[in-house]
Copies of this chain bind each other. A is one copy, B any other.
Amino acid sequence: MPTPARDGDQSALIDDFGLHIGRAMGWPPMAGRAAAVLMLSEAPMTMADLRGALEASKGSMSEMTRLLVESGTVGRFKPPGSRQYVYEWRDDAWAGCLQHQLDATTGLLALAERAHARAAGLPGRQRERLREMHEYYTFMVRSLEALLDQYKASR
């Protein structure tokens, strides 16, 4: 039996985790809570386990597990001889988080590039500001890539 995740004062911790991590990752609160439950569970959990721990609907859990797996923080396996998937917090989950942040920043760099490209004819002040934005996101993408490498290497 997996750790009962919602006993006593872990409950508040899970809500807190859920809200903040969810917000940081751009997830709905329920996804953050599911991540917290999995992180704090000793054993891998089935969707039924998660639903029990969070009192959530089937549909919601299906969507949340999808998000978590996609983000690279949670793994999904089907143990041989079992019909149900089990979900487990990954050892390299935090690298997944950092990757996620890098992806988001890369998206903003793309936006800055598009804007900057169109800026040829603009007055100096505006063009300069778009250049600075582009420069900033270029810096950030390069730096986050370096951090990710460094983090991965340190393990």
Q: Provide the residues of chain B in CB contact with A123, threshold 8 Å.
A: 42
Point out the residues of chain B lying under 8 angstroms from A94, CB to CB: 132-133, 136
A129 within 8 Å of B (CB atoms): yes
Q: How many residues of chain A have a CB within 8 Å of chain B?
A: 39
Q: Looking at chain A's contact residues, is the secondary structure mostly helix, strand, loop, or mixed? A: helix
Q: Are A108 and B21 in contact (CB under 8 A)?
A: yes
Within 8 A of B (CB), among A82-99: 89, 93-94, 97-98
Contact at A17–B111, with CB atoms within 8 Å?
yes
Chain B nearest Cβ from A149, distance in angstroms: 12
Interface flag for A107 (CB, 8 Å)? yes
Distance, CA A126 to CA B23, complexed state (A)? 23
